[in-house]
Structure 1
């Protein structure tokens, strides 16, 4: 970050990105607006969701909730131009950081061959105020590690796809210490509508009208970050180069 606290623009010289997160809805709490901007520019973005979010709705049994949340995520991704959404089937709420998770993520990276990897905050807290969930911490950390694993032919040599050492950056959304940002002026409305596709989840989470809930959150986050990005509504990332 520069000394005046202003964020740098995200790199633009890439064509393929892979977003890997723990749950359906993780990407919709802000990041989807940036995805809409990228797909508008002709870039390819694929989603890999580690669980189906089946433990996320208290009033629905996991066997019913998981398929519902997968449907909501596919509809949500389509709003921002994402055609491919893959679910890895790890158990929601108890995703474990370790070799098994790293292997699955390295295999996904090898299959999709991204230049840019995107994940969610792996830190202990959200801005030092709210404790982060175990799933977010495990998946975010494993994504950072799997970026290197995927390129090493001697690590996980039995995956179907060949090693891929083409990951150039890992972008962490929701970080308390962002370094870069995307101007989401043209993607903000679709970011709101993308979150609104998670209607069953939102209705279980809050008594607010789903559109008001989504609009207040997504527009609020983007406008709050504008002060660090030339007054433009922004989605922020902590960017790690490789």
Structure 2
């Protein structure tokens, strides 16, 4: 594998992370988020669902607000102040223009330098990727291009949202990364704490690896820690 390039993020002022569920940003990505927010970058999260179908045995009407609250607590651990959660149905997301428009709208509102999504390959994380992850990742990529095109999603212009072109699309958790960035021990610890904030969710998954064990292991490199990404110009 070719040597990874160093991610040049120091001139960024805004980042938008687009994911399907509460807890999705917390598997290594949130350590990088902590680096960005500590440096003064405004990081916003857009969740397409409340994750209401994510806890077996607990009614979705109770699960959704619970998981939203846990995501807010996770955001506090890594300095994310802007959290938007939409009401698309958990585990039943469908790729369509409406989903793309909802993401493009947030891009035009937040005006990020980088739009970050998570791995949307069919095979991911040692198994088959969850359906919502696949839908949101691809929709996020396409919505980034929509947001930059004044002739796409013209309804957003009618709402007063002018076109905005992000500089890069960043994919977290990709098996073939192109870029890397160092993260400090403090950021790793914050990333661990952000996943631990999803307490009730993790309690319902007794076989889930312990955050304090696998997050540092995931980010470990010779001499320290680093997050890796696959990066594209839009």
TM-score range, shorter chain: over 0.9
Alpha-carbon distance change, 218 to 18 in structure 1, aligned in 2, over 3 angstroms: same
Would you say 1:237 and 2:229 are equivalent positions?
yes
* Partner in structure 1 of residue 155 of structure 2: 158
* Partner in structure 2 of residue 84 of structure 1: 82
1:34-53 equivalences under 5 Å are: 34-53=32-51
TM-score if structure 1 supplies the norm length? 0.91
C-alpha contact (below 8 Å) 1:117/1:167 kept by paired residues:
yes
Alpha-carbon distance change, 161 to 237 in structure 1, aligned in 2, over 3 angstroms: farther
Would you say 1:179 and 2:178 are equivalent positions?
yes
For the residue of structure 2 that corresponds to 1:89, the secondary structure is: coil
* Partner in structure 1 of residue 219 of structure 2: 222
| In 1, Cα distance between equivalents of 2:207 and 2:137 | 30
Alpha-carbon distance change, 152 to 207 in structure 1, aligned in 2, over 3 angstroms: closer
How far is the alpha carbon of 1:232 from its aligned partner? 3.0
| In 1, Cα distance between equivalents of 2:163 and 2:22 | 26
Instruction: Number of aligned residue pairs: give it.
Output: 230
C-alpha contact (below 8 Å) 2:145/2:165 kept by paired residues:
no
| In 1, Cα distance between equivalents of 2:52 and 2:128 | 21
* Partner in structure 2 of residue 201 of structure 1: 201
Q: CA RMSD in A?
A: 1.5
C-alpha contact (below 8 Å) 1:177/1:238 kept by paired residues:
yes
C-alpha contact (below 8 Å) 2:183/2:227 kept by paired residues:
yes
TM-score if structure 2 supplies the norm length? 0.94
C-alpha contact (below 8 Å) 2:113/2:167 kept by paired residues:
yes
Which 5+ residue runs of structure 1 have no aligned equivalent?
none
Alpha-carbon distance change, 194 to 106 in structure 1, aligned in 2, over 3 angstroms: same
Would you say 1:114 and 2:106 are equivalent positions?
no
| In 1, Cα distance between equivalents of 2:207 and 2:118 | 26
* Partner in structure 2 of residue 144 of structure 1: 141
Would you say 1:70 and 2:68 are equivalent positions?
yes
Extract structure 1 runs of 4+ deviating beyond 3 A: none
Which 5+ residue runs of structure 2 have no aligned equivalent?
none
C-alpha contact (below 8 Å) 1:22/1:49 kept by paired residues:
yes
How far is the alpha carbon of 1:207 from its aligned partner? 5.7
C-alpha contact (below 8 Å) 1:152/1:163 kept by paired residues:
no
For the residue of structure 2 that corresponds to 1:150, the secondary structure is: helix
How far is the alpha carbon of 1:166 from its aligned partner? 2.7
